[in-house]
Structure 1
Amino acid sequence: MDYSDIAFADCTLGDEGEMLRFALDRVHRQFAWKSGGLDAEQLRRQHAPSELYDLWYSTIGRYREEWGHLVAGSGLGTVLHSDPGYVATRRRRLVDILEENLQHTGQISVIREAVDGLVGNDPP
């Protein structure tokens, strides 16, 4: 797999759930592009690159599934009570997911530029 295998549809006129999902999908594509093609030495890991990439792609699949559950049904204003220490709306949970992914994408962007000079925000 590579970044082009990630489901992605440009969203210019969607509702807030579709727009937030577009933003997360875009961040996932950026991360996949920035981290793609690195070998074991560049990744400095004990696992084969293919194992790490497979793990990451399966994780974004779970994100998309969770996202679908959060935007379905009664709306993004619905309060989630699944964790007593973190009561928030679905909208806030989606923003938290997006923020976490943005942080990782920024980190891999800095690393990738140092490894081989790859720069830019979106895959070609």
Structure 2
Amino acid sequence: MTTPTPTYLAGEKQTLHASLDRHRDAVLWKLDGLDDEQLRRPMTPSGTNLLGLVKHLASVEYGWFVETFGGEAEPLWFGPHDDMRVTPEEPTERIVALYGRARAAADTVITRLPLDAQGSPPWRDITVSLRWTLVHMIEETARHAGHMDIMRELTDGATGDHPPVMGSG
């Protein structure tokens, strides 16, 4: 997890990318200090859990950034409707590592292409810009980070959208 750097005066692309990174880091922070049972514990009637949301975010990072803009995503071991479910055979480390690789692959696309670059997700008959995709993924990641914040609070009482800064009182 990286320490967020304020980008209050940065250009559009850097600002969007930093916003996405801030939410990505919050997603990973929500896992810190929890054991495997807590990460996999169903927290909603539909079975949503912290680790399942990380798995889902990994698959959508690959889809929206890599596949949409002509890249080759790594083959996933699960189907498109299984991305929010975690089986006992899926080690926590494997899912967290997948999210790390998906982020890195997405970052390569974000760095390489201009905001006006266009792509088409293979699962939909639309054309999108990298700018739209960044905004969409900020929304998607923030939405699920919020879900994770509630699940984390219900698990052990921890709250917040980022780790406390040391020495800040």
Do they fold alike, i.e. is TM over 0.5?
Answer: yes
> Which residue in the other structure is 2:34 paired with?
38
- One of 22, 29, 42 as aligned partner of 1:26: 22
If each structure's helix is expressed as a fraction of its own residues, which one has the higher value? 1
Q: Tell me, yes or no, if structure 1 residue 106 matches structure 2 residue 149.
A: no
Per-residue deviation, residues 33-56 of structure 1 (Å, max 9, x unmatched): 112222111122513332232222
Name the CA distance, whole Å, in 1 between partners of 2:34 and 2:107: 25
Determine the structure 1 residue equivalent to 2:78: none
> If the length of structure 1 is used for normalisation, what is the TM-score?
0.78
| Cα contact 1:29–1:123 (8 A) shared by 2 | no
Structure 2 unpaired stretches of 5+: 41-85, 165-169
Tell me the TM-score normalised to structure 2 length: 0.60
Partner of 1:117: 157
Amino acid at match of 2:108: E
Between Structure 1 and Structure 2, the one with more strand by share is: 1
Root-mean-square deviation (Å): 2.1
Identity of matched residues, %: 28
C-alpha deviation, 1:21, in angstroms: 0.5
Instruction: Pick closer, same or farther for the CA change 1:118–1:70 going to 2, 3 Å.
Output: farther
Aligned length: 116
1:4-56 CA-partner distances (Å, limit 9, x unpaired): xx374321111100000010110011111112222111122513332232222
Give the Cα separation in 1 of the matches to 2:3 and 2:103. 10
Tell me the CA shift for residue 96 of structure 1.
1.4
Question: Post-superposition shift, 1:57?
Answer: 1.9
Secondary structure in 2 matching 1:41: helix
